[in-house]
Amino acid sequence: MEKKPRLLIVVGPTAVGKTRLGVELANRWNGEVISADSMQIYRGMDIGTAKITKEEAQGIPHWGIDLVDPDQPFTVADYQEYAEAKIREIDARGKLPILVGGTGLYVRSITDYLDFTEAAVDLSYRQALQKEAEEKGVTHLHDKLAHVDPVTAKRLHPNDVKRVIRALEVYHLTGKPMSEAYEEAPEEPKYRMVMIGLTIQDRELLYERINQRVDLMIDQGLVNEVKRLLQKGYHKGLTSMQAIGYKEIISYIEGMMTLEEAIEEVKRGTRRFAKRQLSWFRREKRIHWFDVLQKKQDEIHKEITQMMAGIL
């Protein structure tokens, strides 16, 4: 029987050191990195998405970055197809695939048997639901989902309108609740897998790191990056340009707020995002967590080495 590919995964909130650890592990285990970041897929969006630089990569191949232009659609299903093919290809070359990133659904699409392919897109139905939410309220839409898919409804907050609409769209197109994709998943794992989670238990220290990262992005030229994207015709209505760090700077460029206010909004939005990332990943019981401020780097590597013995 053919051996399943090995897979090492590094997740956690933003600004915790995932990128650096990914490179260190790739150097140690003869690996190549696949990004699991839904914003790093866009070309030209480099500073605001904290893409790895050539120097930081240290010659380690990084995949899943700069896949599409900011106005091109790219779904979780697209990512799943791309990343799974890349994992097989890296493994076939005798190297270790290392998935690194903080987009929970991207990671879940790889670790679990989620079938996104059946559910296409029905834009008119989606727009009708959006109008319904505006006219009757988000709770009405959430109640509608609870009626056809109580499991997914329980998982989603009523204010998460985008995902509530997507879950209703999946039911509308397939006649099956989205939660069945989770329930029908085979027990057998897809890969010989180790999942590592990086965190900083002290929230204030994590938020301090986030604030410093945002200041660094501004110093590196985030405002000019956003101006260049707007000059190329990428407008604020695009999904890509709604990313944290981009929509706030656009508001500054349009004169809606001062640069100081925009920077503060980016920091606040990123802190909230980190909180959501932690909530998502905390539900994943297969993750081995490390507090990067409480464990030394060599101790983390030592423990990962012990875990890797189980999949080699």
pTM: 0.82
pLDDT for residue 175: 76
Q: What confidence tens digit (pLDDT) does each residue in 50-101 have?
A: 999 999 999 999 999 999 999 999 989 899 999 999 999 999 999 999 999 9
Does 128 appear as a known binding residue? no
152 and 72 within one domain? no
Mean pLDDT value across the chain: 92
The pLDDT tens digits of the residues spanning 268-285 come to 999 999 999 999 999 999
Picking from 45-54, 164-173, 242-251, which range would have the lowest pLDDT averaged per residue?
164-173
Can you name the residues that pair with 35 across neighbouring β-strands? 100
19 and 160 in a single domain? The answer is no
- Residue 13 zone, left/alpha/beta (φ > 0; ψ -120 to 50; rest): beta
48 annotated as a binding-site residue: no
pLDDT at 61: 98
Tell me: is residue 255 an annotated ligand-binding position.
no
Predicted confidence (pLDDT) at residue 149 exceeds the cutoff of 70: yes
Same domain? For 159 and 239 the reply is no
CA-wise closest residue to 310 among 291, 295, 288: 288
Same domain, 101 and 199: yes
> Residue 11 in contact with residue 287, Cβ under 8 Å?
yes
CATH number of the domain at 163, please: 1.10.20.140
**Host domain of residue 87:** 6-114+185-308
Q: Which pLDDT belongs to residue 25?
A: 97
pLDDT band at 182 (very low <50, low <70, confident <90, very high): low
**Does the annotation list 19 as a binding residue?**
yes
Tell me if 305 is assigned to a ligand binding site: no
* Number of domains comprising the chain: 2
Tell me: is residue 197 an annotated ligand-binding position.
no
Comparing 100-104, 170-174, 234-238, 260-264, which segment has the lowest mean pLDDT?
170-174
